Amino acid sequence: MIIRRVICPLLLVYGTLGIMSAAAAQSVETGKANTPFDGRIDQVIPLLLGTVEAEDFFDPQFLSKVASAAQMKAFVQGVVTQFGTPQKITHIQKTSASVATLKVQFEKATAIIDVSIDAAPPNKVVGFHVSPDQPVVEDDSFAKIDAELAALPGRVGYVVENIAEDGKRTVIAGRATREQFAIGSIFKLYILAELASQIDAGKRKWSDTIPLTRRSFSSPTTQSLPLGTSVTIEQLATWMIAVSDNAATDELLFLLSRDQVEARVRMVGHSAPEKMLPFLSTVEAFLLKSDYRGVRAKYVTASEAKQRAILNRKISGVGFEEIDPMKLTGTPAAIDSIEWFASPSDVVLLMDHLRRMNNQTIFEIMAKSIAPAAAQKWKYVGSKGGSELGVIAMNFLAKAPSGKWSVVMGSWNNREQAVDEGQFIGLMLRLLNMVTEKKND
């Protein structure tokens, strides 16, 4: 399955941090579980070591709506590859019988992992994330991270920029910052920007409702709702960004109109708009990638005008049930030709555009998958990532307590094989860690 929500260690967790309980401390010291929650804590290290299966640790709803067992396994493997063997839990802050934050010592780094369990038996995990300011690699540096990114197979580009109040951008670190990369679901931020613009202009309201009319793959929220269900525009936008729901994305794209979203791409600024246009829906991308009725080769070599004609004559009105999912597995599918493309610098322009819109709802939506621990370091952090087979991209918009804004954005493409999503996410989090007042002023 492609264009799925990125396997992000910033998975939602509920509750606030509190004081470590005696029972939890005993569990760390002796390995003896005193409560169902302590038992789950005792499984964290075995989960990271691969001796506890995701299905035995996570709640089924978590695996079906947030990240599958295979995705979680891939993420865990990536963390271990980058930070070494997990050794022990060194500290627990526990606020209730179901929510706690763990400090985990790895061979090469320390990580903060928030865990939340279901209060009802069998008390499986419903929230699990690594905080945005962790894990920390000892003596880390931009140079170290750059070297590790450069060593990844395939093509990698990233940029770290500070943005001053007057809009002046200062590059702190980067590689291939102006090269075009497949960016996966980050394209959805262009739709969010156009939606907010239409709302600011009084054409729509966040509270407006529309009926669901579309289906797509990787639609964890809308797939459980009957067609015709009325939902608000704000709900659709939240699902599009927070869980990368593809059906919600297509609903908004066609509600706003493809022409208007494409105009937004040009207005925001894009160094190679011909690579992004026509602006595809997720179903159109799936159909083209799976070579529906043999149109892929014609589409790839056609001019933009002819590509639009192919969409109108061959693809328009075709539902996702016509997609052959077997053609979307195995090896990356046309990630160099049928995708949404942007350079790291292009995405900085987009993030800065969203920042300057100063729309509180946008900020809230982009912060949905950021853990509460982020507030300890940042005044605000918003994020959006995207992935498919052979593609992963991630970016952060962060505001420091001083008021200074920063953007961290990266893409990794490998046309030959799947990318290690967990490893890349860890590297991007390390870049975010490096963006501090002390290190880049």
Residue 135: per-residue pLDDT = 54
Q: What tokens appear for 383 in the block?
A: 């994020």
CA distance 105 to 113: 11
Apex CA 378: angle with CA 373 and CA 382, to 5°? Answer: 85
> Is 229 part of any domain?
yes
Indicate whether 43 and 115 sit together in one domain: yes
How many other CB atoms sit within 10 Å of the CB of residue 430? Answer: 24
Q: Are 40 and 123 in contact (CB under 8 A)?
A: yes
Q: What integer pLDDT is reported at residue 131 of this predicted model?
A: 54
Residue among 256, 264, 258 at smallest CA distance from 233:
256
The model's pTM: 0.77
Residues 354 and 374 in one domain: yes
Domain containing residue 290: 281-330
15 in a domain, yes or no?
Answer: no
Residues 270 and 287 placed together within one structural domain of the fold: no
Residues 6 or more apart whose CB falls under 8 angstroms from that of 123 comprise 36, 37, 39, 40, 98, 117
Cα–Cα separations (whole angstroms), residue 136 to 5, 434, 435: 25, 10, 13
Alpha-carbon distance of 240 to 251, in angstroms, equals: 10
Report which secondary-structure segment, H or E, holds 50: none
Q: Which of 104, 130, 156 is the last residue of a domain?
A: 130
Nearest to 279 by CA among 369, 188, 203, 196: 188
Whether 117 and 199 share a structural domain? no
Pairwise CA distance, residues 351 & 347, whole Å? 6
Determine, yes or no, domain membership for 14: no
* Residues 257, 208 share a domain: yes
- Please name the residue that has the structure tokens 């094989």: 417
Structural domain contains residue 7? no
In a domain? residue 135: no
Which one of 330, 361, 391 terminates a domain? 330
Residues 201 and 314 occupy one common structural domain? no
* H-run or E-run covering 32: none
2 located within any domain: no
pLDDT tens for the chain, 441 residues: list them. 333 333 333 333 222 222 222 333 333 433 455 788 888 999 999 999 999 999 999 999 888 766 678 878 877 887 787 678 899 999 898 877 788 888 888 887 777 788 889 888 899 998 887 653 455 677 889 999 999 999 999 999 999 999 987 888 999 999 999 999 999 999 999 999 999 999 999 999 999 999 999 999 888 889 889 999 999 999 999 999 988 999 999 999 999 999 999 999 999 999 999 999 999 999 999 999 999 999 999 999 999 999 999 999 999 899 989 988 888 888 899 999 999 999 999 999 999 999 999 999 999 999 986 644 444 678 899 999 999 999 999 999 999 988 899 999 999 999 999 998 878 988 898 899 888 645 544
- 377 and 253 share one domain: yes
Output the pLDDT for position 103: 86
- 268 in a structural domain: yes
- Predicted pLDDT of residue 337: 96
> 396 and 428: one domain?
yes
CA–CA separation, 76 and 52 (whole Å) = 12
Are 316 and 373 members of one domain?
Answer: no
- Does residue 352 share a domain with residue 384? yes
Residues 378 and 249 in one domain: yes
Residue 397, domain CATH: 3.40.710.10
Any domain includes 335: no
Check residue 126 and give its pLDDT. 86
Number of domains in the chain: 3
Give the end of a domain, one of 88, 111, 130.
130
**Which amino acid appears at position 328 of this protein?**
L
- Do 154 and 95 share a structural domain? no
